[in-house]
Amino acid sequence: MNAYTFTLSGAALAALPSGALHWAAEGCLVVSDLHLGRSERYARRAGALLPPYEVDETLARLDADIAATGAGMVICLGDTFDDLRAAELGEAHALWLARLMAGRRWVWIEGNHDPGPVALGGEHRADLRLGPLTFRHVAETGAGGEVSGHYHPKARLAGQARPCFLVDRTRVIMPAYGTYTGGLNCSDPTLAGLMAPGARAVLTGRVARAVPMPQRKGDG
């Protein structure tokens, strides 16, 4: 799967090239910030027209990751939908998601864009403690064994900004899994302030590749 493997609080994890996180021992797949329905929201609120294919592309990637890992549990770390109106999926997409959820434990973590897609079933939580790890939408200062999302971190390599995981000894900040998502440069003070010295940026793409987390010029 060309994943990057590492350990967090004793849990053996794999950062997948797609932007998902796999915890094999728990049969768990974690994704964050899918922002399904972003093209619909842009058209509705701003009149901006984007190709309306991001839901298909994102669900197809999630479908493939579930099939490849055999995950019996999926955790969505918030902002699965771009807003509550966007959570009103069309019939084909609703059926697709229902098929993915069938027979699995599915946990929706509350995000700032979607306070919970309660019509879709599954579990709805502000955060989730599972073994040595805590899953939440926004990282908390001083937390340990934490997996979060929200910031959509990106790192620039060879002139191209790519989504990335940020990993240190105590936390993981997930990349946005959705197709139409922006990002925050991982050298931004907000992210740099959360991550410990020696943190790594694990870039997504064909192969999940780790590099030292870039710093702002003048730091270090």
Over the stretch 200-215, which tens digit does the pLDDT of each residue have? Answer: 999 998 888 888 897 6
**Is 126 within a domain?**
yes
Examine residue 29 and state whether it is found in any structural domain, yes or no: yes
Residue with tokens 């001083």: 142
Note whether residue 73 is domain-resident: yes
- Indicate whether 220 belongs to any domain: no
The model's pLDDT over 163-191, given as tens digits with 9 standing for 90+, comes to 999 999 999 999 999 876 778 999 899 99
For residue 120, give the CATH number of its domain: 3.60.21
Listed in sequence order, the residues at least 6 apart from 107 whose beta carbon sits closer than 8 Å to its beta carbon are 73, 74, 75, 76, 122, 123, 124, 125, 128, 135
Q: Helix, strand or coil for residue 55?
A: helix
Cβ count near 27 (within 10 Å):
15
Taking the C-alpha atoms of residue 142 and residue 5, their distance in angstroms, rounded to an integer, is 24
In a domain, 110, yes or no: yes
Q: What is the pLDDT of residue 116?
A: 60
What is the H or E stretch that residue 202 is in? strand 200-203
Residue 129 maps to a domain: yes
Instruction: Quote the pTM value.
Output: 0.89
**Is 218 a domain residue?**
no
Domain hosting 187: range is 4-212
- 69 pLDDT exceeds 80? yes
Mark residue 69 as left, alpha or beta (left: phi above 0; alpha: psi -120 to 50; beta: remaining): alpha
pLDDT tens sequence across 18-44: 999 999 999 999 999 998 865 454 444
Residues 166 and 52: their CA atoms lie apart, in Å, by 30
**What are the structure tokens assigned to 199, written together?**
């943190």
pLDDT at 206: 85
- Helix or strand or coil: residue 97? helix
The count of structural domains within the chain is 1
Specify if 195 maps to a domain.
yes
- The reported pLDDT for the residue numbered 44 is 41
